[in-house]
Amino acid sequence: MATEAPPPPRNGTETDSGPAQPTTERFIEVQEGEEFGELRRTYRSFAFPLTIAFITWYLLYVLLCNYAGDFMGTKVFGNINVALVLGLGQFATTFLIAWLYSRHAAHRLDPKAEAIKARMEADA
């Protein structure tokens, strides 16, 4: 299987490798800046509380399954018991959190990240 060679430079110096890349120093400068700090705070203020809440909810389910068998075996309707309802609730919660994070990222994180990226590429 033969591989294609990259196209030759157009004027001897330019290549089609994409936008110029910022230097390592520039990355560090941006990372230590207020704008990036705000982006990080916005992410953490959403992700950390939801992560803690979900882990707590999951551990509660596991503990109830292990130590509250009579409660978990309580029939809700037909052959559906509390354990099944709470177990399905785990799946629903997972998808709900993923959807909420997607919305949060699209509305709050992505615009800030794009602004930082655009500024870095323009400065390079």
Whether 42 is covered by a domain: the verdict is yes
Secondary structure of 35-49 in HEC code, one letter for each residue: HHHHHHHHHHHHHHH
Please check whether residue 68 lies inside any domain of the structure: yes
Q: Is residue 101 part of a domain?
A: yes
CA angle 71, 77, 80 (to 5 degrees): 65
φ, ψ dihedrals at 114, nearest 5°: -65, -40
Structural domain total, the chain: 1
What six digits make up the tokens of 110? 């992505």
Q: Is residue 70 part of a domain?
A: yes
| Entry pTM | 0.73
Residue 83 lies in a domain: yes
| Domain hosting residue 62, numbered range | 24-123
Residue 90 lies in a domain: yes
In a domain, 62, yes or no: yes
Write the pLDDT tens digit of every residue in 20-42.
Answer: 788 888 889 999 999 999 999 99
- Is residue 16 situated within a structural domain? no
* Nearest in space to 66 (alpha carbons), one of 58, 78, 76, 77: 58
Q: Could you report the per-residue pLDDT of 34-84, keeping only the tens digit for each? A: 999 999 999 999 999 999 999 999 999 999 999 999 999 999 999 999 999
